[in-house]
Amino acid sequence: MKTQLIIFLVLIEFFSSGLEARDCIKGNCQDGKGIMKYENGEKYIGQWKDGQKNGEGIYFYFDGSRYKGDWKNGELQGEGEYIFASGDKYIGSFEKSLYHGKGIYKYKDGVYYSGEFVYGKRHGLGTYYFEDGSKYVGEFKEDKFDGEGTFIFSDGDKYVGRFKNDQFNGRGSMSLKNGDEFSGNFQEGKKVGHGIYTYADGSQYVGEFKEDKYNGLGTYSFSDGDVYSGEFKDDMYHGQGVYTFAGGLGKFIGQFEFDHFVGKGVLFGPSEKYEGEFQNDKYHGKGKLLYANKDFFEGSFYNGKPHGKGILKYHNGDRYEGEFQYGKRNGKGVYYYSKGDKYEGTFEGDKFHGSGTYSFSDGSKYSGFFRYDEYHGEGTYFYPNGDKYQGSFENGLKHGRGVIYKKDGSRYEGFFRFNKKHGQGKFFGPKGEIVEDMVWEDGILVEKKIQTAVQELKKEKE
């Protein structure tokens, strides 16, 4: 329920009979009219009989409260008005110092009750008005809403039915301002047992309630055509169930936990199919996914994406085996191309990145460092004819210092820029007997000097 219906009635306790009087400061405080002032500061002005307050009188309490009305034998009896120090007020009938008969109790915040009282408690027919504009009209018992009644909320919502102990209890119906409606049973203010909740948009729940919520078996039909049928817990899908999407967009069959696909299940999409473990509506754990384009993944998922170890078979015949991170090839793995090429090494963001080896179907091979699918850093490129380059690469090109080894044993050592010889370089023969000093500019030889190996050694010693 939107509003707690527990109302605290202030029980009036009058201490006049037991207070020690300081003085009858004026008049006749035995039989007649007089003013009595008490030791604690309280004061009574009114009629007396046999030394007790009898007839009409006003009593001022030490806390600031006061009563004006009828008295009998020292007690509030008859019609009167009690104003509390807090600002609350009661106007009506009293008996033995308790509210009894018809009366009105007004709270300083605007809340008030108008109706019947029995010995200090609301009992019988009455109306209770709340500060926010809500009101209850119906039967009361022992200060509580009890019996048949109507509760109208300030926002326009309305309950009609049985009450007990200030709460909806028994058969009843709720009509909400927004157009929602409920018909069913209540217990201690909450919906229980079988009921029907119809929403303004046309959605509807038919099934079991417990503790004011969907609990047990039920069916929830959405206005857009989606339907869930199965187990509920605390207004949520929980347990075994089937969720069918409207328009043939798919179906989930499996385990639910607090409104989410959790545990093992099968999700049929319009063009995809996943079978495996779920968490929070996402593929999570071990599973198999057939994509719309016919790619197929089997392995570990995390938060809806391949994550961890797995195998991804592409519809074009390519295949990747290795590690994934958040849906992308990330970590160590092997990528097999349908044409025969293969990459083995580390990946980042679906790219060759880090240390790895790319083997071509024609026999050539690169082994070294990659940066986003390009040779980058230190590496070695093996040519099909037996030659190889060892050195620096940048963006897939020889760049920086490197050595070209020929299969006949000769080699070139020098600098490269964007795949071309550039700057100082030396060419060594197969046996090292001849050395050529060279200067290159963008692959064009601009200077060359031939020396013997012996001359070169002497030059180095000098």
Instruction: Check residue 449 and give its pLDDT.
Output: 80
Instruction: Check residue 431 and give its pLDDT.
Output: 85
Instruction: Check residue 293 and give its pLDDT.
Output: 96
Task: Please provide residue 454's backbone torsions phi and psi, each rounded to the nearest 5 degrees.
Answer: -65, -45
Q: How far is Cα 6 from Cα 217, in angstroms, rounded to an integer?
A: 32
209's CB contacts (< 8 A; 6+ apart) are 184, 185, 190, 191, 192, 193, 194, 195, 215, 216
Residue 15 has pLDDT above 70, yes or no: no
Confidence of residue 459 (pLDDT cuts 50, 70, 90): low
Residue 18 has pLDDT above 50, yes or no: no
Residue 278 has pLDDT above 80, yes or no: yes
The identity of residue 443, as a single letter, is G
Residue 128 vs residues 11, 99, 123, 215: alpha-carbon distances, Å:
17, 16, 12, 33
H-run or E-run covering 307: strand 305-313
| Structure tokens that stand for 440 in this block | 């290159």
Percent of the chain scored above 90 by pLDDT?
A: 89
Question: What letter does residue 16 receive in the DSSP assignment?
Answer: G
**Lowest mean pLDDT segment, chosen from 20-34, 74-88, 134-148, 185-199:** 20-34
Instruction: Check residue 450 and give its pLDDT.
Output: 73
Residue 182 vs residues 74, 90, 158: alpha-carbon distances, Å:
53, 37, 11
Residue 426 has pLDDT above 50, yes or no: yes
> Strands (DSSP E) along 360-442, which ranges?
365-371, 374-382, 388-394, 397-405, 411-417, 420-428, 434-441
Q: How far is Cα 342 from Cα 336, in angstroms, rounded to an integer?
A: 5
- Residue whose structure tokens are 């090839």: 329
Summarised one tens digit per residue, pLDDT across range 117-131 is: 999 999 999 999 999
Residue 457 has pLDDT above 80, yes or no: no
Summarised one tens digit per residue, pLDDT across range 21-73 is: 578 999 999 999 999 999 999 999 999 999 999 999 999 999 999 999 999 99
The partner residues of 36 in beta bridges, in order of sequence, read: 24, 44
Residue 180 three-state SS: coil
The rounded mean pLDDT for the chain is: 92
Residue 275 three-state SS: strand
Residue 170 has pLDDT above 70, yes or no: yes
Instruction: Check residue 410 and give its pLDDT.
Output: 94
| Structure tokens that stand for 354 in this block | 């880090």
Summarised one tens digit per residue, pLDDT across range 337-359 is: 999 999 999 999 999 999 999 99
Average pLDDT over residues 179-187: 97
Cβ(165)–Cβ(188) below 8 Å: yes
Confidence of residue 369 (pLDDT cuts 50, 70, 90): very high
Instruction: Check residue 4 and give its pLDDT.
Output: 30
Confidence of residue 220 (pLDDT cuts 50, 70, 90): very high
The partner residues of 273 in beta bridges, in order of sequence, read: 268, 290
Residue 265 has pLDDT above 80, yes or no: yes
Q: How far is Cα 77 from Cα 56, in angstroms, rounded to an integer?
A: 10
Task: Please provide residue 303's backbone torsions phi and psi, each rounded to the nearest 5 degrees.
Answer: 50, 40
Domains, the chain, in order of start with CATH, read: 1-154 (2.20.110.10)
- Residue whose structure tokens are 């692959």: 443
Instruction: Check residue 448 and give its pLDDT.
Output: 85
The partner residues of 380 in beta bridges, in order of sequence, read: 367, 390
Q: How far is Cα 6 from Cα 4, in angstroms, rounded to an integer?
A: 6
When comparing pLDDT for 10 and 364, which is higher? 364
Instruction: Check residue 20 and give its pLDDT.
Output: 56
Instruction: Check residue 6 and give its pLDDT.
Output: 28
Residue 60 vs residues 22, 37, 44: alpha-carbon distances, Å:
15, 10, 6
368's CB contacts (< 8 A; 6+ apart) are 355, 356, 375, 377, 378, 379, 380, 393
Instruction: Check residue 452 and give its pLDDT.
Output: 53
Instruction: Check residue 372 and give its pLDDT.
Output: 96
